[in-house]
Amino acid sequence: MTQHDTFIGGIWRRASGSAELDVIDSFTEQPFARYRLSSTDDVSAAVKSAKEALAGWSARTPAERAAFIRKIAVNLRTHADELTEAISREVGMPRKLAARIQVGAPISAWHMYADLVAEFEWESRVGHSLVVEAPVGIVACITPWNYPLHQITGKVAPALLAGCTVVLKPSEIAPTSAFLLAKAIEESDLPAGVFNLLHGSGIEIGEALVTHPDIDMVSFTGSTRAGRHVAALASGDIKRVALELGGKSAALVLPGADLHAAVKATLGGCFLNSGQTCSAPTRLLVPRGLVVDAGHLIAASIEGYKMGDPAEPTTRLGPLVSSAQRQRVRGLIDAALAEGAQLLTNPAARVPETGFFVPPTVLTGVTPGMAIAQEEVFGPVLVLMAYDTLDEAIDIANGTDYGLAGAVWAGTAQEALAVARRLRTGQIDINGAAFNPAAPFGGFKKSGVGRENGRHGIEEFLEPISIQLPGTYFESAEAETVTL
């Protein structure tokens, strides 16, 4: 598939960049799609289109905007098979999982946002003031490759619902879902200019968007290094910034917890999407006396993580997204071994001949100061760490630059909750509780600024305006309501 066009002002128009970029199948290691890159002229056109559409879109009622959100969700469903195949090939997630996690969940989230419009408080009263929630304006959404449609949905859907107009730049590594979303939006008859799509690198197109004087807000998901750069660029114009960045999440097992359940869930979370998940639990902290038992459980469970073609139903662990990502992960493993860590698993076992694979890897003998215990790996790598006291365990869990997610396992939920309240991280699972897409998602420290998902996700794209009114206004308004 070759795509020369991008979506600006409600129409498909030829991207004016000078180059085309191949999208690589992470299993075959061969190109399967090609996209023409946008230029900085396209950036100007997209922002201009968004600016022209802002007044009309923001003037629509929330219910009217929600109706478009629901139409987009319905139309996305018609592209579900295309989305599943493309994301699986780009990212490497096994197709059976991609259908549910990479496609089904984001489509459901579009419906969730449409449902939220009725319960969201768009206006409120504070004394003699009317507080109106107003859209922040034109939003640049810059999204990563690991959960492409999910990350796009977490920004574009609430921004549109809030009354903002959007310019989206997806990752050039996994752009296909963004183009299929643009198709769904076109089929929904969304007013021209409300949503615009660009394709290109972060260095050129991303930076041009972030620094454009008419962009009011930047919502970015990616690495902490890139997020720091985005925030610095945006600060020149005092733009509002939301950042969802890296993580180094800990699963903390307390004495008396179900160790088998904790190990199974931690491995599942760590190896999901081949470890290419910012909130993955990549550190398993257990009492020192349980390290050997935990190791045996890990060794037994890891045999089930069959590597192979993501299209095959029996594949549980797919390849990484690229050769560069594989090289980076291998480098971090080698560095950990040089620091004194030991392999609990066989890294050479059953690696397919093609594909950017890193086998499921578990390291023991890891101390908190090692790079492998501090840095985000973004690959299927878990470290097993021992602790002696609860205070030490909490210090280890909190002892990184990140604070995105975590888990606590204990004999009772009450015991786990007491520990969870001491963790400086944005999302914590207790005894394997399920992910909640309506609850806020975001982090502490270098894991970012702001929150996504649900009501909190909508609030990121709103600015409260306080309108002071004469004291008699509310009395007369109430009287008119009673008369009606």
The answer to whether residue 474 scores a pLDDT higher than 80 is: no
Q: Quick one: which of 203, 197, 225, 191 has its CA closest to 141?
A: 197
The span from the CA of 408 to the CA of 462, in Å, is 33
Q: Clarify whether 270 is annotated catalytic.
A: no
Cβ–Cβ under 8 Å, residues 93 and 234: no
Which residue among the candidates 141, 164, 270, 278 is catalytic per the annotation? 278
pLDDT per residue over 128-141, tens digit each?
999 999 999 999 99
Give whole-number Cα distances, 240 to 138, 191, 436, 440, 452, in Å.
Answer: 11, 25, 26, 19, 15
The span from the CA of 283 to the CA of 363, in Å, is 10
Dihedral sign computed on CA atoms, order 450, 452, 456, 462: positive
- 192-225 as b/e, with b when 16 or more CB fall inside 10 Å? ebbbbbbbbbbeebbbbbbbbeebbbbbbbbebe
Determine what percent of the chain is predicted with pLDDT higher than 90: 95
pLDDT per residue over 353-362, tens digit each?
999 999 999 9
Q: What is the DSSP string of 13-57?
A: EE---S-EEEEEPTTT-SEEEEEEPP-HHHHHHHHHHHHHHHHHH
The span from the CA of 106 to the CA of 153, in Å, is 6
Task: Identify the pLDDT of residue 484.
Answer: 36
* Domain 249-430: CATH class, spelled out: alpha beta
Q: How confident is the model at residue 480 (pLDDT cuts 50, 70, 90)?
A: low
Dihedral sign computed on CA atoms, order 425, 430, 435, 437: negative
Cβ–Cβ under 8 Å, residues 438 and 112: yes
The span from the CA of 90 to the CA of 28, in Å, is 10
Check for a shared fold between 2-244+453-466 and 249-430: no
The span from the CA of 231 to the CA of 62, in Å, is 30
Cβ–Cβ under 8 Å, residues 455 and 62: no
Cβ–Cβ under 8 Å, residues 314 and 308: yes
Q: Quick one: which of 281, 372, 379 has its CA closest to 323?
A: 379
The answer to whether residue 483 scores a pLDDT higher than 50 is: no
Q: How confident is the model at residue 478 (pLDDT cuts 50, 70, 90)?
A: low
Q: Domains of the chain: which residue ranges?
A: 2-244+453-466, 249-430
The answer to whether residue 482 scores a pLDDT higher than 50 is: no
Q: How confident is the model at residue 416 (pLDDT cuts 50, 70, 90)?
A: very high
Which residue among the candidates 85, 172, 244, 415 is catalytic per the annotation? 244
pTM of the model: 0.95
Q: Quick one: which of 429, 435, 414 has its CA closest to 256?
A: 414
Report which DSSP code applies to 102.
I
Superfamily of domain 2-244+453-466: Aldehyde Dehydrogenase; Chain A, domain 1 (3.40.605.10)
> Mean of the pLDDT values across residues 223-237?
96
